[in-house]
A and B are shown apart, each in its own frame.
Chain A
Amino acid sequence: MRTSLQRLWALFRGRRLDRELHDEIEIHLAMQEEEFRRQGMDATAARLAARREFGGVAQTQEIYRERRGVPWFELTAKDLRYALRGLGRNPGFTAAAVLSLALGIGANTAIFSLFHVLMLDTLHVAKPAELVTMFRTGAWGVGISSYPLYLDIAKRTDLFNGVIARSGVDKAPFRTASGDHPETAQREFVTGNYFAVLGVAPAIGRLFTGADNRTPHAHPLAVLSNDFWRRRFAADPGVLGRTLVVDGKPLTVIGVAAPGFRGVEVDHHPDLWVPAMMTENEIMEAGWHWLWIMARRRPEASRRHVQAAMDVLLQQYLAGVYGNHPNAGFKKIAMDQRIEVRAGAGGLSMLRDEFGHSLSVLMAAVGLVLLAACANVANLLLARGAARRKEVAVRLSLGASRGRLVRQALTESLLLAGAGCLLGVAFAFWGERGVLQFLPAESAEPFPAVPNALVLAFTLGISLLSAVLFGLLPAWRSTSVDAADCIKSGGAQSSGRQSGLRKMLVVSQVAFSVTLVALAGLFGHSLATLRSVNLGFRNPAVMEFSLDFPQAWKAPQIQAARDRLVARLEALPGVSLVTYGAPGPYRDGFSKATIRIPGSEITATAPAWVSIQNVAPRYFEALGAAPIAGREFDRGDTPQSRKVALVNEAFVRKMLAGDRHPLERILDDPLNPTFIVGVVPDVAHGGVRQPAVPTVYLPAARMAKWWGAILVRSALPREETARAIRAEVERLGPDVTGGDPKTIAQRVDDSIYQDRLLATVAGFFGGLALLLAAVGLYGVVAYGMAQRAREIGIRIALGARRGKVLWMMLGDPLLLVAAGLAIGLPAALVAAGTVEKVLFGVKPADPFAYLATAGALLAIGLAAAFLPARRAASIEPVEVLRQE
């Protein structure tokens, strides 16, 4: 301890101590010299003898200094200057090293900054590890539950220290009581015990208690998030007691939550919380699933135990609600539900559920990129070390210790890593934005635009790690020089071990790139397969956006606003068609219903589940999907006219046994019949990945209360149309909010964003790894050629044919590629096994991907080796031998 402190202290006093030692040695030499003179030597002889007695002065100083400082961390200004000079002398080498490191570090930083938000961060609440989420699975949506089910779970105080429920975060229009300027806020309905169970304190005022959530519609209160309070109200404590009109309803602000608490959902952060009882809907309705349930486990209740208890609880609950349901098919589906008890420390995240796996794959892939970059830089350093053997030998014989040379080499590595780190952060910034471009706008929300401290610490960590990874071995190797031998032979002698090491590095580079390229091939093939899916419509340029009205609005009011908007949109220049549908194309909240089809065997015993879409006239014309038989809806299909429906091809295939004449067949109750008036093509409303399901289209005019999406077909450019649409929606007043207008093509792209992202990122880095491997191969081959120039010269002089020499030189690199493939392909197969879930229509063992990979690597290998090999084959024996 004392020693290391002294050493550390000595770091700062280095220069003074150097001088002191210098003085001390001078005095020593003077004393010795004096003594020799007294013994009768002349001045010169005495001085020389004194030096001889002492031994190497410089060596002593060097050992002394090393002993004094903390060797691993001492980056003296001298070492830095030396390293900077060395790097400046080789700009090509420096640029190549820094660039490949920066790409590796940048990619890791970019992906990590997403990864830690989604996969590593825990909620800013008390003891997050105790939290579990109740994820409902079954036919009726995923995750969310009803309020009555919540009440049953909340009774289990034997298992939980509190159970909370919350709605999803939704965008609600709001006004302050005085100002009438409309704004929007992210709103979340919560149970009264929400803050208490999570262990969140108020910053000012008070938070909800159980008493604030007792009676429907009777608690017009709001709690603000700290961020919102600061952002919107400039942290004014006077906000307490003020009234906010949220979604048409006046609410009194009673408090602000503690800073740092941003709710329990990673994807969206609420601005304000409202008691669940304030919902417009009938809260005790068992069929209304809208709440996410979270619970704080008692320490003695394990998750397995909780899971078993929930299985029993849910079955009892379902039996109570649906046990006497007359519809057997409905009852079966109703009973076939489960509650999955999941870890809740990381909070809720739909995005994590769907994107987490891909993100982990990306994280691993960029890890490989960094390894490949390190191997590349190590290779470059070794090559340069070989070229500097003579310099090293001279410095060793002048008294530099090996440790010091290693340290200097490491200083250089750290400098390279430092530069790579800085440039990498810049790349990461750019790269993260690039990645986020792929995500649908609403999914990109939770990710910070700027890397935070944790991410930067990670970056610094991997930079240091990579400096050690790529720097240590070359530093050690390039200083293991037999000084005398090397100087005698003029530094030209090669070290067999060194080239062996370089070959090993190249093989590992090839193996890394094989894995990356194979993954890129798989993702690329998968994406191509997705792209080739027939989407069922020919007009992907049609624009679509959702429309949301206040919960309090009645049906006629909504209908009037919608019709006003439709009329105005139709009047816009360039717009040829406006229609609407619910849920609309590529909307995740699709609706389902059970039906009976008279005469169909499928529904003879129990009704069948089908998807329901409510569409307006000309809906299919807008999509460019003309009916295959019959017609689509027109203005004559009103709530008063005969009940009609359209069905899709999948419906005809599965429900009507492929009936060639489905028109005028009856759906549902024969006494109150609905007639099929048209058959439309399969439109994959659930997304590209999901095959079209049997779907019944009903006239939107018959909806009790309209909701859904508006479709606009326009000849104008996308951006222009979107702008015009936004302006028109705004004219409907502050209470109506419109979604982001997008073309169907964009929605399709959004629905396969992960596939596009994976294919692009893997493709980019696969290409990069290939390039690095090519550089490595080229280096090794060129080096080998230089070493063997004399041998080749002699062979040619003895009559070897040049073509044969060319092949001889090509054989070596091809062998390296083959070795890399032999290691990389099995590794790639293993990696592919882990990504099976995200592949579409492609098996992990897809022969196309692996053949393409092997082909690409061989081609790269040949290309990299060809130049030096041809140079070798064109050697003039006379010149080589003359050089000797």
Chain B
Amino acid sequence: MSTGESKSDILQGTLDLMVLRTLETMGPQHGFGLAKRIQQISGGALDLNQGTLYPALLRLEQRGWIRSRWGTSDANRRAKYYEITRKGRQQVEKESEEWSRTVAIMERFVRLAEED
């Protein structure tokens, strides 16, 4: 499915944080809107199979980090909207921290490799 080397596959688990952050900053979104935002923010560098978003949404909902309801879109279409919960925001905070730490650590290793 992957066509070019410029696009990267999504790391397991990172999709959750992307979804949560997107919902946190952009407010309630429907599935299509979310997929589009995520692709936009990544600058088109992500090879996101839009379909994989839905099981991820279900997982987040089962954990109580997001909730969903049926609503009406701008184009007067019926759609299911997803919204971050308080528990979800806490989760974002936690995961963001972890992520920054991971990045910082990886950064050091990468630089180490260059110095060698």
A interface residues, Cβ below 8 angstroms from B: 2-3, 6-7, 20-21, 23-25, 27-28, 30-32, 34, 53-57, 59-60, 63-64, 67-68
Contacts and interface: CB of A to CB of B under 8 A. Distances in A.
B21 interface: no
Given A28-B31, A28-B32, A31-B77, A60 B63 contact: no
Contacts of A68: 58
B58 to A, nearest CB: 5
A54 B49 contact: yes
Interface size class of B (residues with CB under 8 A): 20 to 34
A55 B35 CA distance: 12
Contact of B51 (A30, A56, A67): A56
Interface in B60-92: 62-64, 73, 75, 77-80
Nearest to A3: B62
A3 to B, nearest CB: 5
B99 interface: no
B102 interface: no
Nearest to B73: A31
Contacts of A56: 51
21 contacts: A2-B62, A2-B64, A3-B63, A6-B62, A24-B31, A27-B30, A27-B31, A27-B32, A27-B80, A28-B30, A28-B50, A31-B32, A31-B73, A31-B75, A32-B50, A53-B50, A54-B50, A55-B52, A56-B51, A59-B51, A67-B59
Given A2-B64, A3-B62, A7-B62, A60 B52 contact: yes
Contacts, number: 65
Contacts of B54: 21, 24-25, 60, 64
A683 B55 CA distance: 83
A57 B49 CA distance: 10
A57 B55 CA distance: 12
> Which 5 A/B pairs are nearest by Cβ-Cβ distance?
A55-B49, A60-B51, A55-B51, A31-B32, A28-B32
Contacts of B79: 24, 27, 31
Given A53-B50, A64-B55, A68-B58, 20 more contacts: A2-B63, A3-B63, A24-B31, A25-B54, A27-B30, A27-B31, A27-B78, A28-B31, A28-B32, A30-B77, A31-B30, A31-B79, A32-B32, A55-B1, A57-B51, A59-B51, A63-B52, A63-B55, A64-B58, A67-B59
Contacts of B32: 27-28, 31-32
A60 B52 CA distance: 6
A60 B62 contact: no
Nearest to A31: B32
B82 to A, nearest CB: 10
A24 B80 contact: yes
* Central interface residue in B58, B77, B79, by most chain A CB within 10 Å: B58
Contacts of B51: 25, 54-57, 59-60
A74 to B, nearest CB: 15
Interface in B4-60: 30-33, 35, 49-52, 54-55, 58-59
A7 B35 CA distance: 25
Nearest to A56: B51
Nearest to B64: A2
Contacts of A32: 32, 50
A235 B10 CA distance: 76
Nearest to A4: B62
A687 B59 CA distance: 73
Contacts of A25: 51, 54
Contacts of A57: 51
Given A3-B62, A64-B55, A55 B31 contact: no
A5 B41 CA distance: 35
Nearest to A66: B55
A739 B30 CA distance: 87
Contacts of B35: 28
Contacts of B58: 64, 67-68
Contacts of B77: 27, 30-31
A843 B44 CA distance: 82
B42 to A, nearest CB: 14
Contacts of B55: 60, 63-64, 67
Contacts of A67: 55, 58-59, 62
A23 B55 CA distance: 15
Nearest to A21: B54
Nearest to A6: B62
A14 to B, nearest CB: 13
A20 B51 CA distance: 15
Contacts of B78: 27
A60 B56 CA distance: 10
Nearest to B35: A28
Contacts of A28: 30-32, 35, 50
A431 to B, nearest CB: 48
Nearest to B79: A27
A400 to B, nearest CB: 15
Contacts of A6: 62
Pick the most buried of A6, A31, A60, A64: most chain B CB atoms within 10 A of its CB: A31
Contacts of A24: 31, 54, 79-80
Contacts of A31: 30, 32-33, 73, 75, 77, 79
A611 B86 CA distance: 92
A383 B58 CA distance: 38
Nearest to B58: A67
A603 to B, nearest CB: 91
Contacts of B64: 2
A64 B59 CA distance: 9
Given A24-B80, A31-B32, A55 B59 contact: no
Nearest to B77: A27
Contacts of A30: 77
Contacts of B49: 54-55
A520 B41 CA distance: 76
B73 to A, nearest CB: 8
A817 B78 CA distance: 68
Contacts of A53: 50
